[in-house]
Amino acid sequence: MTAPGQLKRLFALDRHTDISGVSGAGVVAYGLETTTGLVVMRWLGDKPSTVVWESLEHAMAVHGHNGATDILTLDGPFPADLLPTLRAAFARILDVASIVGHLGQEIDEFLTAPGRVTA
């Protein structure tokens, strides 16, 4: 398994035009980028999700909507009323990363155990 690297930056995706009609305009996701390029993002809204991308370029190729979304580097200080939203988003990102990290060895054991392949 490739090491995730160190934290490079925290960012927000700011959508100034909602082309799809799903996410709305404004900040639609928060994320982190590592020194290896790995990106983990937490989508906001009615149906939040946490996703992992190999790179920010890959994520923007799908979600950038041809320039309708900007990447804003987060470097604080942050307004007190925004801190709960930021903490919740990044806590969920860390929860997902922890789950994936713990499952890595279990998945490897499952894949290499005899008699596990079924049709």
Nearest to 32 by CA among 84, 102, 97, 99: 97
Residue 92 placed within a domain:
yes
pTM confidence score: 0.75
Residue 119 placed within a domain:
no
| pLDDT value for 64 | 65
Residue 68 placed within a domain:
yes
Residue 89 to residue 91: CA distance in whole angstroms: 6
Residue 117 placed within a domain:
no
Residue 77 placed within a domain:
yes
Residue 43 placed within a domain:
yes
Residue 1 placed within a domain:
no
pLDDT tens figures, 16-45: 766 666 666 689 999 888 888 889 899 888
Residue 89 placed within a domain:
yes
- Tokens representing 89 are 């988003």
Higher pLDDT, 80 or 24: 80
* Number of compact structural domains in the chain: 1
Range of the domain at 54: 7-112
What percent of the chain is modeled with pLDDT above 70?
Answer: 77
